[in-house]
Amino acid sequence: MIVRFWGTRGSIPVALTSDDIRDKIVQALLKASGRSFASSEEASAFARDELGFAVKNTYGGHTPCVELDLGGDEYYVCDMGSGARPFGAHLLARQQGRPATVNIFVSHVHWDHIMGFPFFGPAYVPGTRIRIHGCHDVLEHAFRLQQAPPCFPVEFDQMAASMEFIQLTPGKTQVVGGLSVTPGLQLHSGDSYGYRFNVNGKSIVYSTDSEHKLENSDEAKRFADFFREADMVIFDAMYALADAISVKADWGHSSNIVGVELCQMALAKHLVLFHHEPANSDATLERLLNETRRFEELTREGPMLKVSSSFDGMEIEL
């Protein structure tokens, strides 16, 4: 299975500005000072081997969309943020005209998590089957509402794919195609739900838009149990800890530090930081990743917890 990240920002899509690109060029030139390159291959090798991620790449700016690729003509994806548009293009290119079934698991219906659906190419292709899973009673209403006049030129019923909305029950495990899925209630305005997926002996937790009050030991234990020994936990790390417990307390999001603490309690194997603050630059996100890895090292009492920071286009094979 491949976990593929199509969108990793929170709240609103963002893009690199001309100033951002110029700053990356300046940093690369400073790093290469005194060097000369005889070919593009030599220059590429220098960029690959000697430039940091935040200089040679970008974490991207699409809002949440994470694919669980099991192969075949049935697809599984968490949330339909703006990353749904490139995910849809990828799906259509891979299918080459063959019909597909797409299972969408919706954490909640705030706009950043459904805004990509009107731009999801497969939804306009006859023969595509789309099954939208979630725990909210307003799930179908929200998807229809964002495409209702005067908000969008194409109404929901004008899409050519067959659509089905499937109500899930928190805490109840169901089998969906090739995997089993268990939703779990999270603390967020209007409620959000995390998902634990189990497939072929591997377990993945998708837990975004969730605030954690670690002083509440019962709640901490509940999430540690939900994350228990997961091979991967995709975790809302929107804020730095100082902000999460002060000026942005009760805003419904968490921090990199809390992610480490919960995953250590759960003996999870891999923490993936997700739902990045849209105001954070690539350099800031790289710094937060390094700080998170250092915190994990300093607080480690058991097995090492691998820590990564998600970016648009990242793939992790399990």
- Strands 65-69, 74-78: pairing is antiparallel
Using 50, 70 and 90 to split pLDDT, how confident is the model at 12?
very high
For residue 154, the 8-state DSSP code is S
At residue 145 the predicted structure's pLDDT band, cuts being 50, 70 and 90, is very high
pLDDT at 215: 79
Residue 246 has a pLDDT of 64
DSSP string, 43-81: HHHHHHHHS-HHHH-----PPPEEEEE-STTEEEEE--S
pLDDT the model gives residue 247: 63
Q: Cα(24)–Cα(145) distance, rounded to whole angstroms?
A: 40
Contacts of 96 (CB under 8 A, 6+ apart): none
Would you state the pLDDT for residue 217? 85
Mean pLDDT for the stretch of residues 25-45:
94
Q: Can you give the pLDDT at residue 251?
A: 67
CA nearest to 209, candidates 256, 275, 259, 260: 275
β-bridge pairing 179-186 and 101-105: unpaired
Is a pLDDT exceeding 90 seen at residue 244? no
- Greatest alpha-carbon span in the chain: 62
Q: Which residues contact residue 222 at a Cβ distance below 8 angstroms, ignoring those fewer than 6 apart?
A: 184
Is the per-residue pLDDT at 218 higher than 80?
A: yes
Q: Mention every residue, 6+ apart, whose C-beta is less than 8 A from residue 110.
A: 189, 190, 209
* Mean pLDDT on 216-239: 94
- What's the pLDDT band for 29 if we cut at 50, 70, 90? very high
CA 186 centroid distance within chain? 16
Mean pLDDT of the 154-174 span:
97
Mean pLDDT of the chain: 95
**Does the pLDDT of residue 250 top 90, yes or no?**
no
- Calculate Rg over the CA atoms of the chain: 20
The pLDDT score that the predictor gives to residue 216 is 82
Average pLDDT for 168-197: 96
Q: Hey, how many other C-beta atoms are within 10 angstroms of the C-beta on 222? A: 13
- Name the superfamily (CATH) of residues 2-15+58-317: Ribonuclease Z/Hydroxyacylglutathione hydrolase-like (3.60.15.10)
Q: Which tens digits make up the pLDDT trace of 78-135? A: 999 999 999 999 999 999 999 999 999 999 999 999 999 999 999 999 999 999 999 9
Q: Tell me how far CA of residue 63 lies from CA of 78, 158, 205, 208, 277, in angstroms.
A: 11, 25, 18, 11, 10
Whether a cis peptide bond, with omega within 30° of 0, leads into 64 is no
pLDDT tens for each residue of 270-307:
999 999 999 999 999 999 999 999 999 999 999 999 99
| 178 pLDDT tier (thresholds 50, 70, 90) | confident
Q: Are strands 179-186 and 174-176 parallel, antiparallel or unpaired?
A: antiparallel
pLDDT at 213: 80
Domain ranges for the chain: 2-15+58-317, 18-56
pLDDT of residue 252: 78
Mean pLDDT, to the nearest integer, of 214-223? 86
